[in-house]
Structure formats: structure tokens, C-alpha cells
Amino acid sequence: MSTTFQLDTATSRAHPTPAPMKRLTIPAIRRRKQDGVTAEPIVMLTAYTARQAQLLDAHCDMLLVGDSLGQVIYGLSSSVPVTMEMMINHGAAVVRGSYHAAVVVDMPFGTYEQSPAQAFENAARLLKETGCAAVKLEGGAAMAETVAFLSQRGIPVMGHIGLTPQAVNVLGGYNARGRSAAEADKIVADARALDAAGAFAIVIEGVVEPIAVAASEAIACPSIGIGGSARCDGQVLVTEDMCGLFERVPRFVKRYADMATTISEAAETFAAEVRARSFPGIDQTYQPRGA
């Protein structure tokens, strides 16, 4: 039996009240794929705050605290400037706000590439200070040694191949990968290398569909597609993209809501009522007792 802090939704504040929970484990996620088949596809969405985690948790198998928070939360031009402190603060919030989904936290650029030892130090810090279940890092065969080093020392690792946003400066943009034969072969080889190194799952991002399918079929662990194929073993999207909070979204995103319009209209109505002095009204103000 484990415990977690529950949030009082009436106040949106955390209270340290232990509550029984049964969170999905990394081995359980890994076992979803048996003999190359995943009967129940894996659902993963990004989450950056405790309240967001609360709303998503019941519907997801995994919550990813992605370094996409650099753009989504902080307005950065890429994920490259994201720091460990950012990931730790948001990762801990998502763990506090969830009870069911396994929480995976991205390792920021520059915190794992230098050596397996560097990666272990920073990954261990992420697990200790957030309470997350696993970390995610980008890169294929070049990172296989690091994935093995972490996995053998008790740190579950999710891989990430294809379009790797932290390498945007090398890739020259966010274009789909795998269009050339050489690149396609490399993507499949990268998937195999990470799988052999012990990754419990691998994100396949922005890869032309036949190559995404080939990479997924080449590995024993589950694949998580984002701009890949419905034939991957699971899917992930940035929640803000899925909810329509940005005007422009990648080709592979399906908008399931238009929250940007909802929020803008609510703010417009609030502004109009403030300027008309109709808010706050009697229901939103404190009156003398007995009045």
C-alpha cells in the first residue's frame, strides 16, 4: 500500500492527507505488449500541474511531464533551455495530483548526454525529488549504453527516437523523419538498440508511418506514437494541443476541444462585467450579518 497527498478541490490546495492508492507500475506498462501484440493500447498525455494531473489521471495509463513545458508553460522557443529545477517542480506537482497513472519525467537537454554517470546522478535526483516512476531521454543507439546503465541500477527509462526536439538545432527544424532510406534504417536500428538496452517503452515521434510501424514491430517493448501510426502500441499528445489552447498545432494533433475560445470568451465576459460594475454582485460579496 502506498500513499499520496490528495488535493482539496474546493480550495485547490494540497493537504497532506494520506490516501490508499494503486498506481500503475512500469512493469505493468511493459507487460501490455506480449509477443509483439498490445491488446489494450497505452494512453499517455502530458501534464505540468497538479490540477491538470487530477483531470487527466483517471483516463491515462501514463502522465508525461514533458520538457515541452518550456514552450507550453514558459514561452521558450524550444525545449533546449529547460532546467532540472523546472522539471523537478512540475514533476512533483503532477505526482501529487495523480494517483492512478505512472508518471514519467523528461530529462532536460544537457543532463544525461555527457556520460552514463551524469545521467544516473540527474535521473536519481528526478526520482527522489518528484516521486516519479521513470524518466525519459532522447536519442537512439548513441544513448543505448546510458539506458542500460540506468536500467541496471533501478531507474526505468523511456526512450525517444525519430523527431527529437532537443536536437532541433542539429535537425534544422521539426520536419518529419524517415523519408530517406538511410534515415529510415537508422530509426529502426535506434529502436532496436534502445529495446535491447532495457528501455521499458519508446516514443516514436514525427516519423513517416511505414517506418513508425516497422520500428514498432521491431521491438519487444511498447512503442508510443506521436505523429507515427495508430499501429503503435500507444499514443501521446501534448494536452494543450489536444485541447485547442494554441492557434497552431502540429499536423499530427487532433483537437478534441477549443479551450482557447472558451477561456477568451470567459475573460471577455468578466472584463465587460467589471467595467459595467455588475461584478461582483450580491452573491460574490460579504454582507453584514443580519442584513
Q: State yes or no: pLDDT of 193 exceeds 70.
A: yes
Q: Is residue 280 domain-resident?
A: no
Q: Is residue 255 domain-resident?
A: no
Average pLDDT in the 25-32 region?
Answer: 98
Q: State yes or no: pLDDT of 192 exceeds 60.
A: yes
Residue spans of beta strands (DSSP E) within 9-156:
13-21, 33-34, 37-38, 42-46, 62-65, 102-106, 134-136
- Measured CA to CA, the distance from residue 58 to residue 70 in angstroms comes to 25
Q: State yes or no: pLDDT of 272 exceeds 80.
A: yes
Confidence of residue 3 (pLDDT cuts 50, 70, 90): very low
Q: State yes or no: pLDDT of 8 exceeds 80.
A: no
Q: State yes or no: pLDDT of 31 exceeds 60.
A: yes
Confidence of residue 2 (pLDDT cuts 50, 70, 90): very low
Which residue range forms the structural domain that includes residue 160? 2-7+23-242
Contacts of 109 by beta carbon, 8 Å cutoff, 6+ apart: 67, 79, 80, 82, 166
Q: Is residue 250 domain-resident?
A: no
Average pLDDT in the 89-104 region?
Answer: 96
136 is in an annotated binding site: yes
Average pLDDT in the 193-201 region?
Answer: 98
- Measured CA to CA, the distance from residue 62 to residue 274 in angstroms comes to 41
Q: Is residue 257 domain-resident?
A: no
Please count the structural domains in the chain: 1
How confident is the model at residue 194, as a pLDDT?
98
Q: State yes or no: pLDDT of 25 exceeds 90.
A: yes
Q: Is 273 known to be catalytic?
A: no
User: Three-state DSSP class for 94?
Assistant: helix
pLDDT digits (tens, 9 = 90+) for 223-243: 999 999 999 999 999 999 999
Q: State yes or no: pLDDT of 261 exceeds 70.
A: yes
Q: Is residue 18 domain-resident?
A: no
pTM of the model: 0.91
Contacts of 70 by beta carbon, 8 Å cutoff, 6+ apart: 76, 78, 79, 80, 81, 82, 86
Q: State yes or no: pLDDT of 10 exceeds 70.
A: no
Q: State yes or no: pLDDT of 159 exceeds 80.
A: yes
Q: What is the mean pLDDT of the chain?
A: 92
Average pLDDT in the 50-65 region?
Answer: 97
35 is in an annotated binding site: no
Catalytic residue, chosen from 40, 85, 145, 205, is 205
Give 189-223 as a DSSP string. HHHHHHHHHT-SEEEEESB-HHHHHHHHHT-SSPE
Q: Is residue 183 domain-resident?
A: yes
106 is in an annotated binding site: yes
Q: CA angle, corner 132, sides to 129 and 135, nearest 5?
A: 100
265 is in an annotated binding site: no
Confidence of residue 168 (pLDDT cuts 50, 70, 90): low
| Residue 86's CATH number | 3.20.20.60
Average pLDDT in the 83-106 region?
Answer: 97
Confidence of residue 17 (pLDDT cuts 50, 70, 90): very low
User: Three-state DSSP class for 177?
Assistant: strand
Q: Is residue 114 domain-resident?
A: yes
Q: Is residue 248 domain-resident?
A: no
Q: State yes or no: pLDDT of 112 exceeds 70.
A: yes
